[in-house]
Amino acid sequence: MSEQGRRILLGRVLGAFGLRGELKFESWTEPRAAIFRYQPWILVDPAGGERELRGAKGRESGKYLIGHLPEVTDRDAAEALRGTEIHVPREVLPPPAPGEYYWVDLEGLRVVTTDGVALGTVSHLFSTGANDVLVARDDERERMIPFVQPQYVTAVDFDNGVVTVDWDPDF
């Protein structure tokens, strides 16, 4: 997928809040309310339907965000959006700081060991709470490698499309 077509999942709609169409959101941005700065949103409903939306507004409220979307004016319309994912085009996000990466930018890069053994490509990453994990897949297997620098991930080279890892290929 080209840089132009990449999307980043930033949060989701948890359901209605109140009676006038306000929504409760979960955000994975830091800070949480930054999700409202990155627009347009591409809303993906649980059935896979998509639509682009601009004009989302909101505020922090406890452990969630409360906000509204244009054209959502009552509780029924808000509740119908429960479970909808909020994606944004990659290009609307600021560039990452040196040494930091958006996970979506790592997906598809080749993974090789420090000895040059190919382990496949980056399928995805996920967080365990203790650390992030890089999932490398090839035709035969899947490897889960802690994304801990420089102990296991020794280099990320976007120019050559390679993540180098200090990892036993048999593990």
Q: Are 59 and 107 within one domain?
A: no
Q: Is residue 47 part of a domain?
A: yes
Q: Is residue 84 part of a domain?
A: yes
Please give the pLDDT value at position 79. Answer: 97
Q: Which domain covers residue 16, as residue numbers?
A: 7-91
Quick: pLDDT tens for 133-162. Answer: 999 999 999 999 999 999 999 999 999 999
In the predicted model, is pLDDT for residue 3 greater than 70?
A: no
144 vs 4, more confident: 144
Q: Quick check: 78 and 92 in contact, CB under 8 A?
A: no
Q: What is the CATH number of the domain that holds 33?
A: 2.40.30.60
Quick: pLDDT tens for 68-109. Answer: 999 999 999 999 999 999 999 999 998 888 888 888 899 999
114 vs 5, more confident: 114
For the entire predicted model, the pTM comes to 0.75
In the predicted model, is pLDDT for residue 43 greater than 70?
A: yes
Q: Are 63 and 16 within one domain?
A: yes
Q: Is residue 97 part of a domain?
A: no
Q: What is the CATH number of the domain that holds 131?
A: 2.30.30.240
Please give the pLDDT value at position 63. Answer: 87
Q: Is residue 96 part of a domain?
A: no
Quick: pLDDT tens for 47-60. Answer: 999 999 999 999 99
Q: Tokens 């890089």 identify what position? A: 134
Q: Are 114 and 83 within one domain?
A: no
Classify the C-alpha dihedral 104-109-111-116 as positive or negative. negative
Q: Is residue 2 part of a domain?
A: no
Domains held by the chain: number? 2
The span from the CA of 162 to the CA of 69, in Å, is 40
Beta strands in the chain (DSSP E): 7-17, 22-27, 41-44, 50-53, 57-61, 64-68, 85-89, 110-113, 118-127, 132-137, 142-146, 153-157, 162-165
